[in-house]
Chain A
Amino acid sequence: DAKTTQPNSMESNEEEPVHLPCNHSTISGTDYIHWYRQLPSQGPEYVIHGLTSNVNNRMASLAIAEDRKSSTLILHRATLRDAAVYYCILSVGGSARQLTFGSGTQLTVLP
């Protein structure tokens, strides 16, 4: 199975941009890249997903490397509400059924 590697933790200051990296060197051509986040005591929350091109939505941007072996989730202005565990997940073979959550990146936002 294609795996992802993320830093265990990151810190950011409030109202500054945050770049959360993810390595997925064994990604194949049909694997989508998904990002979810889990706030304390809540269920995971969908953030964004993409295949090849960079993607933007109201929550974040996803920058995908040209070789697709890495990606970066960008929060443009971190708020205290963005403190969460962020998971980078590959949907293997195009199937988004069995999301495999790793250990994710714990993002701390400092006031």
Chain B
Amino acid sequence: DSGVTQTPKHLITATGQRVTLRCSPRSGDLSVYWYQQSLDQGLQFLIQYYNGEERAKGNILERFSAQQFPDLHSELNLSSLELGDSALYFCASSVGSGGYGDTQYFGPGTRLTVL
């Protein structure tokens, strides 16, 4: 158990809908990262927040957005869902802002199925 929690574990929804995925980092960690893992793309970095501020952005679609709240939990919002958004979404956390050797600890993931 990494100490990172993600809810829900599974989510099934329809195309065009909007969903929110939630992540609670390990106690004391200030950074939260979001990744998407699909069969054809592998694990891809989406976005990072550090102490409430966006710090790094990867291959995140405009239909997706995220935020980190004062209590440091984070939410990933996915809207206008398409079939291709079906994937595992992982959240990770780290102590620092992602500098030298900062280690990321991953949660168990949310499996999103878009029908």
Give A contacts to B, CB under 8 Å: 30, 32, 34, 42-46, 49, 51, 87, 91, 94-103
CA distance A98 to B45 in the complex (A): 6
Interface residues of B toward A: which range?
20 to 34
Instruction: List A contacts of B55 (CB < 8 A).
Output: 97
Contact with A along B64-97 (1 / 0, CB 8 A): 0000000000000000000000000010101001
Give B contacts to A, CB under 8 Å: 2, 4, 33, 35, 42-45, 48, 55-56, 58, 90, 92, 94, 97-109
Q: Is A46 a contact partner of B101 (Cβ separation < 8 A)?
A: no
Q: Ordered nearest first, which 10 A-B pairs have the shortest CB separation?
A: A97-B98, A43-B106, A101-B43, A97-B56, A96-B102, A98-B45, A94-B100, A44-B106, A43-B90, A96-B98
Apart from A46-B105, A49-B101, what are 8 other A-B pairs with CB-CB below 8 Å? A91-B100, A91-B101, A96-B94, A96-B104, A97-B98, A99-B104, A101-B42, A103-B42
CA distance A87 to B42 in the complex (A): 11
